[in-house]
Amino acid sequence: MEILEPLAGDAFAPETTYLNTSSTGLLPRRAVEAATRLLGENAAGTRLGAGGFDELAAVRASFARLTGVGVDRVALGSSVAVHVALIAHSLPAGSEVLAPEHEFSSVVQPFAVRGDLKMRYVPLESLAEAVRPSTSLVAFSSVQSADGRVADLAAVREAAAAHGARTLLDASQSAGWLPLDAGAYDYTVTAGFKFLTCPRGTSFLTVTEEAQERLAPLHSGWFAAEDLSDNYGPVSELAASARRYDEPGSFLSYHAAAESLALLESVGIDAVHAHDLALADRLRAGLADLGHRSVADDSAGVAVPGLGGAQPELLRAGVYASARGGNLRFAVHLYNASADVDRALDVLSAL
């Protein structure tokens, strides 16, 4: 079996066997340096303001390039739940929202809490065939958080288009390793702190031009103004682009994110995709040799049903994985190597 080294060389500095990107991605050295530099400037009073809008613009442009959409379709925020809540508020009362069973809460809770929408849940494998003429929106993750299953993206898009339903894709568990065409969905939402290797406090919303006509900028502040110097009294003109859906940016997070996304762009998502799947395949094969069945066979997330109780022993051995829904969940990424996978398998074999 091929021996794989980290894709990004010494761009990262893990001190553990870190196989937990589905929870939180590691930050590149250059991202940490950018945040540290800004902290120092804020402490010393050597800059005007808490951070730079150039960095926000760089992050927006990087994410647009990584996901194949125009920069005018990308909004920046702090969390997926806030983006989804904006979309949830746009639906008329009585609208039907279709989602997979056991979908991550941030994708469905903002719809469920309204109380006047029709929520319908079906198995992930049946999602496309469950779309019907009464369905207003299909809300789903490209990769399931609990077990790494990859949705049949093309089938869901085709079924939604056939019935006139809109699509909301959560790419939090896929953006950064799985190529994404964000323009193929009415909305996408993505947490930046997983496979995009950004800090918490970074998230992304993409909105098609047509969907922007129906999405009210409910939390718009001065960040949403076309002219950023227009910041007293009601904004006279909102940004003509999806920037009008921005939340005020956390400068520390976004200064770091600019470096994280630039690194990902330099490596290339196709290269990361091949690397991550090769490592995940190595892990799945090793688990099978130990008598453990993993759930998905085409994902960077590798989950083993019923083995979640082994997580504490792995942690004690310096192997970082997570327990979700009874599963022991691993996730490999560009900073991992074959040695990380082999170390995890060695620890499991000794339990």
- What are the structural domains, with CATH classification, of the chain? 17-28+268-349 (3.90.1150.10), 41-266 (3.40.640.10)
Per-residue pLDDT band at 98 (split at 50, 70, 90): very high
The confidence band for 77, taking pLDDT boundaries of 50, 70 and 90, is: very high
In this predicted structure, what is the pLDDT of residue 2?
85
Residue 85 tokens read as 């809540």
DSSP H helices, the chain, are 29-44, 53-67, 80-89, 105-112, 127-130, 153-163, 209-212, 251-267, 269-289, 311-316, 338-349
**Among the ranges given (45-54, 91-100, 265-274), the one the predictor scored with the smallest mean pLDDT:** 45-54
Question: What tens digit of pLDDT does each residue of 196-229 get?
Answer: 999 999 999 999 999 998 999 999 999 899 998 9
- pTM score: 0.97
Q: State residue 66's pLDDT score.
A: 98
pLDDT over threshold 90, residue 334: yes
| 336 secondary structure, DSSP code | -
SS3 label, residue 105? helix
Cα–Cα nearest to 174, from 76, 296, 294, 290? 296
